[in-house]
Amino acid sequence: MSVRITSFAALLLLAIIVSASPVIAISISCSSGGGGEFVSSSETFDLDDKTALQESVSLDAGSIFKSRQAEGSGNNNISESIAGTDYSLENNIQSSGYFSASTLVSATSDSGSLSQDVAGTGSMSLSLSSAEGSGEASQAASVDCGTLESMQSLTAGHGVAASQSTGIVGQEGSILTSAMSSENVIGATGSFSGEGGLNANLASATSTETDRALASGTADLDGVTFLDDSSFQAVSSQTLGMGMAGVWDLGDGSIGNLYMSVVNFESAAMNSAASTTTTSGTQTSRGSSSSYVLTKYRWNQNDPKIQLYLNPTNTPSGLTAATTQAAIAAAANTWDNAVTQNLFADGTTVKIDSAKKVDKPFSTSPVSDKYSVSGWASLGSSYLGMCRWWSNGKVTNGYYSIIEADIWFNKDKKWTTTLSSAKGTTYDLQSVALHELGHTIGLGDLYTLKSSDARKSDFAQVMNAYDGPQRTLGNGDTAGAKKLYG
């Protein structure tokens, strides 16, 4: 069914209860103008047969007001766009499972607003953005195999703004906030896989007066805060980016992960960043050569010769500083041998230095000291290891420059450097170091990918989940490293 309205004053009431056909596709567009003012709205609905939709649209001279309620189950997709003279609002909801959504839109030719309450179980993704001139503010959230509840808002007119208050519990989840102006891009992303709970209260905005993009808010995973206003303040005064990836033991023999990043980069540099797509590859016993993910970060100087440091404080029993040093160095040399460049320092690849600081892994306002330090820390009962990398925002050949990468290993877990002893809940340090050093050189995790992506199930790769000791690279690991460094 398609409905189109162009009018100065009109009222449309659309009520649909879908119960017979498997999917109904609905397209609605309307516009309103008068006195030189003009505003338009367009929507598409792909609704399952168990979904009810009711929407009212009120049009007046140069204005639109909409109220919509939707509820149902199955596969559903709702997309809408509002456009005025110099702005636009975009809203998309995709769900597989039960969902409900209540949305209000008020728009004139020079300003618009959208507020929305959404809840769902199963799988759901939400994305919203508002744009005006060179400014844009966006929010996004998703869950797979779980529940999501979110309150969201968008505004445009004399600057744009977007916000979300979101709670996620499930097997996988993610959140995003970002803002862009002609001067800078600032934002944060957070995601997890493995059973967990993520809560976020985030806001992003741009100002036509200062032409600066701003972001703020908090995010926590399973009660541990990873992001707050100080995280944004740490990068907002300079061109700086920080990413962090962690691996945790779910206690049932499976592995989960956390990824988080906060960036404040120049808009020109952001637009020139590289794509993370891969090409098709060959499949062998070492997996597919296409099974890799690039993070858009790398060490951009030729032969970077990264000097690694080890702070031996809190080394667990059964290990020594020397055996830890040797395991990390062996992992570094494995990556070095895969490429033509000299990635890590020759001679003493890992220097033992108790004076080198190991920053707090869960700090919401971390500090870059330009040294790449590995160390031991209490990471709770779950985490095995974590890596945090820093970028100065400079782009060379499409890649942001990494300037530092720190690694933490959980001192409260059982570790070994003897391959035959790495069984059950006793973890092989060299294997975990190999994975974390993959983040250090710019490779991302495979287990954060969508379930439909074949790379996610390629466990021959070190950059997939830890499922036992693995001290050699898969074909995808090697191909990804060569993509970055030759």
Give a yes or no: residue 253 inside a domain: no
Q: 227, 249, 266: which is the final residue of a domain?
A: 227
Instruction: Report the CATH number at residue 472.
Output: 3.40.390.10
Q: 161, 194, 227: which is the final residue of a domain?
A: 227
Per-residue pLDDT at 281: 55
- 205 shares its domain with 292: no
Contact (CB, 8 A) for 4 and 12: no
Give the max Cα distance, the chain. Answer: 80
Contact residues for 270 (Cβ-Cβ < 8 A; gap 6+): 180, 185
- 191 shares its domain with 316: no
Please classify residue 323 by burial: count the beta carbons closer than 10 Å to its beta carbon, then call 0-12 exposed, 13-18 middle and 19+ buried.
middle
Give a yes or no: residue 234 inside a domain: no
Per-residue pLDDT at 282: 54
Give a yes or no: residue 83 inside a domain: yes
Per-residue pLDDT at 381: 65
- 220 shares its domain with 310: no
- 473 shares its domain with 366: yes
Average pLDDT in the chain? 88
Q: 227, 248, 263: which is the final residue of a domain?
A: 227
Given a cut of 70, whether residue 280 has pLDDT beyond it is no
- 334 shares its domain with 215: no
Give the domain extent around 216. 2-227
Q: Out of 37-41, 269-273, 449-453, which region has the weakest mean confidence (pLDDT)?
A: 269-273
- 296 shares its domain with 213: no
For 232, the token pair is 């944004």
Per-residue pLDDT at 4: 39
Per-residue pLDDT at 367: 86
- 326 shares its domain with 426: yes
Amino acid at 153: S
What pTM does this model have? 0.84
More confident residue, 260 or 330: 330
Give a yes or no: residue 246 inside a domain: no
- 195 shares its domain with 312: no
Average pLDDT over residues 253-268: 81
Give a yes or no: residue 141 inside a domain: yes
- 218 shares its domain with 358: no
Give a yes or no: residue 277 inside a domain: no
Per-residue pLDDT at 450: 76
The tens digit of pLDDT for each residue in 325-362 reads 999 999 999 999 999 999 999 999 999 999 998 888 88
Overall domain count for the chain: 2
The tens digit of pLDDT for each residue in 226-253 reads 889 988 988 887 889 998 888 766 566 5
Per-residue pLDDT at 347: 93
- 203 shares its domain with 339: no
- Confidence band for 77, pLDDT divided at 50, 70 and 90: very high
Give a yes or no: residue 405 inside a domain: yes
Give a yes or no: residue 30 inside a domain: yes
Per-residue pLDDT at 274: 55
Measured at the alpha carbon of residue 119, what is the angle toward residues 114 and 121, in degrees to the nearest 5?
150
